[in-house]
Chain A
């Protein structure tokens, strides 16, 4: 469902184009539309202002839906299992966080829970909630609030960091025991890619324009 390369193919609110200020140097620009696949940069500091990402809505919806499914898989199936001397221990994200919270270190448990479970869930769920109805041109109730919170949650999504942590742990444990990757691990890798793809697909301009239009 790839859209043909064109300029400003999404519905825009009245009075377009609207001015855009650089969030870095505060220079005012006129916010003209740019062709698909290109980006507008600040005249003064060169930082990215806005882009026109192709099929952004579709991409966001698809990838965030996938991300949600993958999150289900990640938490239902074992992530990593370790066998040493005949003893087997299994790691699953949800259970690990829960046990950390219950026994010993609640703070770290909550950190893990928020950064690898809550934040991605909120993001993917939020994206889906906002973008899916927009495909039909409608705005979900409270979509603006959700979209607002999306922006705030974004920096707290640390799935990639967790994956690196897994790799480091593998190096640490690999010598003393046998490690087997469960379904959850591969699902987690896929989740990381999906989230990245979903976030990369967000075209802030398009999203807000569409929202505005949908709610008018």
Chain B
């Protein structure tokens, strides 16, 4: 009877051991760079805070460069070992954008498991050294952002919508062509629908200072965005948002909100503009405007677009949204873009460089209709059509001054000067001669006196009178009625007239300084309202 006791003990013991062995799942091998914080028999493996396994053993790999951690998985968790299952160690991490895992300072590190979606089977994994920012299975929208420059947008930077944090940047990579930076952004599920096809993304990191004709504007984002960088998105006013954007859709990341808002156009048409003047101050990305509305931007400035080297004009390639331009033409113009352009150019559409900002000296391209412009046609250079250009206000001023100077140069000043010199010479000689003559008169007078006492004096007055007559003729030709003086006066008159026209120009400049800039005929462009984005 009492033997029941040991038999019972054996049965219970056996059952317990069996149960323990049966509850063990497979063994997974994960390799990490370091086993910091991991201890065999103590460190747990968790998935969403539920224990799914325990570290059994730690071993250095054969090449001594990594650590292989053997994990005894629980049976119920065997199905979590899939092809793209991820493992990482949760330990305290402090960085500018992320403070995580601090709880593990007290509780000890553990290994987090994120099950993948691939097929089951593998037991060997490469552990991640840093935790992935968002759990892959968290629902939300994942989008691609392209930026020309990384700036201060980092992995882990938040994504804002109307000032609220709705997601974060997951990865940052160089684009395959090496010319732009690609970001993967994650937007949480409840905000996913806010991203539409026409939504614009812009960089809100850092402080935005812009100076324009209206003054200096300083815009600061949240403190966190200043430190950690951030991106924001929204739909500019007046633009139809469109349908919700699907996963994986690509967006351009604008450098700041203004650039995003002013990018209402969809540039599709590339046009070449050839400028005779220097394009210094014009940069890639500079705006192309029509009557103050941005319709495009400068894509490239390069001599490559001109076939031969003889043409010294500077080619500027711009891309514009023709739909915005079409609306400007009276009467609907249907047909291809090329036909529309041709019609527009016939009506006076020209490109010009205008100054955007005094302080920075940047230029932008302005398209406008110049009804008085000389008739020109579209020309084709290689792949691109060239729209004719006109010089800008500054150039026009240059032209005017050149014309005035030319006129001044045309004046026969040399001749006049020469004549004056000759006349002076002649006057000198004449005076010398006159002096001589007076001397002679003196001697003559002395002789005359002698002669007066001389009986031959009586015959002198008629000779003297004759001589005085000649002298008078000579002096009178120099005098105010003389022909020589008349020439001199005429020359001086002409000079006076030229100087007068210069004076009127300077007066008009005094009165209206802007005429120096815009010229008298200001082509009716309104003064732009919004400050320009500096590039």
> Per the CB under 8 Å rule, do A and B touch in the complex?
yes
- Measured CB to CB, the residues of A under 8 A from B are 1-2, 55, 58-59, 62-63, 65-66, 69-70, 72-73, 76-77, 85-88, 183, 190, 194
Bound together, the chains give a CA A2 to CA B2 distance in angstroms of 9
Residues of A contacting B94 with CB < 8 Å? none
- Supposing A65-B6, A69-B6, A86-B107 touch, asked if A2 and B13 sit within 8 A by C-beta, the answer is no
The answer to whether B2 and A69 have CB atoms under 8 Å apart is no
Q: Which of A1, A2, A87, A183 touches B16 (beta carbons < 8 Å)?
A: A183
The answer to whether A66 and B9 have CB atoms under 8 Å apart is yes
Residues of B contacting A183 with CB < 8 Å? 16
Nearest 7 interchain pairs by C-beta: A66-B9, A65-B6, A66-B6, A69-B9, A87-B107, A62-B2, A86-B107
Most buried by B among A69, A72, A77, A190: A69
Q: How far is the CB of A137 from chain B (nearest CB, A)?
A: 18
Residues of A contacting B17 with CB < 8 Å? 76
Q: Which of A55, A58, A69, A87 touches B13 (beta carbons < 8 Å)?
A: A69
The answer to whether A69 and B10 have CB atoms under 8 Å apart is yes
Interface bits B97-134 vs A (CB < 8 Å: 1, else 0): 00000010011100000000000000000000000000
The answer to whether B13 and A85 have CB atoms under 8 Å apart is no
Bound together, the chains give a CA A1 to CA B2 distance in angstroms of 7
The answer to whether B6 and A62 have CB atoms under 8 Å apart is yes
Other A-B contacts than A1-B1, A63-B6, A194-B5, 18 sampled, CB-CB below 8 A, are A1-B2, A2-B1, A58-B2, A62-B3, A62-B5, A62-B6, A65-B6, A66-B6, A66-B8, A69-B9, A70-B13, A73-B12, A77-B16, A86-B107, A87-B108, A88-B44, A190-B9, A194-B9
Residues facing A in B383-398 (CB within 8 A) are: none
The answer to whether B2 and A72 have CB atoms under 8 Å apart is no
Residues facing A in B7-23 (CB within 8 A) are: 8-10, 12-13, 16-17, 20
Most buried by A among B6, B12, B20: B6
Bound together, the chains give a CA A72 to CA B12 distance in angstroms of 12
Bound together, the chains give a CA A183 to CA B1 distance in angstroms of 26
The answer to whether A87 and B5 have CB atoms under 8 Å apart is no
The answer to whether B107 and A85 have CB atoms under 8 Å apart is yes
The answer to whether B3 and A1 have CB atoms under 8 Å apart is yes
The answer to whether A73 and B5 have CB atoms under 8 Å apart is no
Residues of B contacting A2 with CB < 8 Å? 1
The answer to whether A66 and B107 have CB atoms under 8 Å apart is no
Q: How far is the CB of A183 from chain B (nearest CB, A)?
A: 6
Bound together, the chains give a CA A2 to CA B108 distance in angstroms of 57
Most buried by B among A63, A72, A76, A86: A86
Residues of B contacting A73 with CB < 8 Å? 12-13, 16
Closest to B19 in A: A183
Bound together, the chains give a CA A178 to CA B413 distance in angstroms of 113
The answer to whether B20 and A66 have CB atoms under 8 Å apart is no
